[in-house]
Amino acid sequence: MIPFRFTRHNRTPRTILILLGVYVALVALQVVLDAAWWLVGLLALTTLPALWDIARDTRAGISVDHDEVRWFSGNREGHVDLADIDYARFDTRWDFSVRISLVLKSGKRIRLPDESTAPSKDLEGVFQQAALRVERHHFSIL
């Protein structure tokens, strides 16, 4: 089943609706509750990274083939040969998100960017097909 490719675009209707909802709430704060303009402005500043991602339509993704694992997120990218990977570690966090790390035979750990990873069940199957050992760790504090 290998090769595997997964790509995510940041310009989605869901992201745009969330951003519009935040701006409506900020305007409501200003108009209805008469909030200070500088406070509304500070809150609006937190939306600029998401607005920038939508404007540029940045992408993130991962691909696995017979030789290597490649990932990208915006301008960042990386790759590692399958032969260099000891195992893939899937850490389930307290918020139920899954962080994925590739542990190399040298002991070095490479954490894959969250936005570039496919759903963990899909990626776990792909790694197993690529003959990689997969370790799952649930709700660890460290």
Give domain limits for the chain.
Answer: 9-56, 60-138
Q: How confident is the model at residue 1 (pLDDT cuts 50, 70, 90)?
A: low
Contact predicate 109/101, CB 8 Å:
yes
Contact predicate 103/85, CB 8 Å:
yes
CATH assignment of 60-138, given 2.30.29.30, 1.10.150.20, 2.130.10.10, 1.10.640.10?
A: 2.30.29.30
pLDDT tens for residues 102-117? 999 999 999 999 989 9
Stated pTM of the model: 0.75
Provide the β-strand partners of residue 94.
Answer: none
